[in-house]
Amino acid sequence: MTAKQLMINEEVADALAQGRGVVALESTLLAHGLPAGRNRAVAARLETVIRNAGAAPATIAVLDGTARIGLTEAELDRVCDPAADLVKLSRRDLGPALGLRGNGATTVASTSALAHAAGISLFATGGMGGVHRGAETSWDVSADLDVLASTPVTVVCSGVKSILDIPATLEVLESRSVPVLSYRTDHFPAFYLRDSGLPSPWRVDSPEAAAAVIAAHHASVPGDAGVVLANPIPAVHEMPRALHDELLRTGLELLAEKGVHGKDVTPLLLEHFHRTSEGASLDANEELVVSNAELAAAVAVALAESR
């Protein structure tokens, strides 16, 4: 990428040059996953917890045809402003967005790709995309999985939402040689819930252990597969299961009723959860992302210290 296409801000560039920890953050969860106002507060909180842990935050978005790694306060305002009308950019959309000098918010797929291009190996988010329910006929499998299979970046997330087909998502990660580690639990988490009901392939109990696994994975497994570090939502913020199941049921009905497909599925379901739960899912969402940013920063620092 040319210097005009990829710009790394000073804080991030300095941290990279000094071998300090850096944590990438995506912008789709801000622009399309959280309501206006609340998204800006979450953006600030994420950056603060990462700095407090001794790492540099690198929120990523495409603005005026440039992929920006690390945003100014004004750029964060813009990403969080619905009037800015940022489109949701998966990895395949980066060429059009840069070539046509557009604006967009980056998903796990495009954020991982841009983070790697900038030399960043850790990324924190809420949930990642995966295999959608009914993918056997819709073919809706998130590019997040493909990118993880071919990009040496660790994604710290709270697993995947139960709106997806979680067993199928875990199968694809296995086929594509992406290790899945869960943090201080034997169960793979499901975003609003601490336990998806499925066992986690691996468990780690400290940031140092996660860093050791990440380093050993890249040293021993040929290819460029990334790593999933799944961090369950803090227990005090977990959603009541009955409320969760009811929202999921009505959310899936709403999707079928409206005939929504493709990239609009996740934003519509999130909006349904947030509206119907009167903010309970919003609080859960915020707390899990913050917790993931904290863990990612601790792992980034452990990785930097072990080098």
Instruction: Provide the annotated binding site for Mn(2+).
Output: 140
Examine residue 140 and tell whether it contacts Mn ion (CB under 5 A).
yes
Distance CA 11, CA 14 (A): 5
- The item of ligand PSU, Mn ion, none sharing an interface with residue 159, based on CB under 5 to 8 Å by kind, is none
Distance CA 138, CA 59 (A): 32
Q: Which listed residue (10, 73, 75, 161) is catalytic?
A: 161
Q: If residue 227 lies in a helix (H) or strand (E), which one and from where to where?
A: strand 227-230
Examine residue 169 and tell whether it contacts ligand PSU (CB under 6 A).
no
Decide whether 121 or 292 has the Cβ nearer to ligand PSU: 292
State whether residue 164 is helix, strand or coil.
strand
Distance CA 123, CA 118 (A): 12
Decide whether 19 or 279 has the Cβ nearer to ligand PSU: 279
Examine residue 272 and tell whether it contacts ligand PSU (CB under 6 A).
no
Binders of ligand PSU among 145-164, rule CB under 6 A?
A: 161
Q: Which residue is nearest to Mn ion (CB)?
A: 140
Binding positions for substrate are 88, 108, 142-144
Instruction: Measure Cα distances from 98 to 18, 64, 103 in Å.
Output: 29, 8, 8
Tell me the CA end-to-end span of the chain in Å, nearest whole number.
Answer: 27
Task: Compute the least distance from the CB of residue 193 to ligand PSU, in Å.
Answer: 12
Task: Compute the least distance from the CB of residue 2 to ligand PSU, in Å.
Answer: 25
Taking CB under 6 A as the binding criterion, the range among 28-36, 41-49, 51-59, 221-229 that sits at the site for ligand PSU is 28-36
- The item of ligand PSU, Mn ion, none sharing an interface with residue 157, based on CB under 5 to 8 Å by kind, is none
Backbone dihedral region for residue 196 (phi beyond 0: left; psi -120 to 50: alpha; all else: beta)? alpha
**Do 75 and 43 touch, CB atoms closer than 8 A?**
no
Annotation says 161 is catalytic:
yes
Catalytic positions, written as ranges: 26, 161
